[in-house]
Amino acid sequence: MDLRFDGKTVVVTGGSRGIGEATARAFLESGASGVTITSRKPDNVEAAVARLGGDERVLGVVAAADDPEAADRTIVATVERFGGCDVLVNNAGTNPAAGPLVDVDLGAVDKTWRVNQLGPLLWARAAWHHAMAEHGGVIVNVASVGGMQPGRMIGAYNVSKAAVIHLTRQLALELAPRVRVNAVAPSVVRTKLSRMLWDGMEDHVAQAHPLHRIGEPDDVAASIVFLASDQASWITGVTVPVDGGATGASAPAGLG
Q: Which of 96, 118, 176, 199 is nearest to 126 (CA)?
A: 118
The C-alpha torsion from 102 through 107 and 112 to 114, rounded to 10°, is 120
CA distance 189 to 197: 9
CA distance 34 to 95: 29
Q: Which of 170, 164, 177, 182 is nearest to 223 (CA)?
A: 182
Question: Beta strands 137-142 and 239-242: pairing type?
Answer: unpaired
How far from the centroid of its chain's Cα atoms is residue 252's Cα? 28
CA distance 17 to 178: 30
Catalytic center residues:
157
CA distance 249 to 172: 27
Are 156 and 109 in contact, with CB atoms under 8 Å apart? Answer: yes
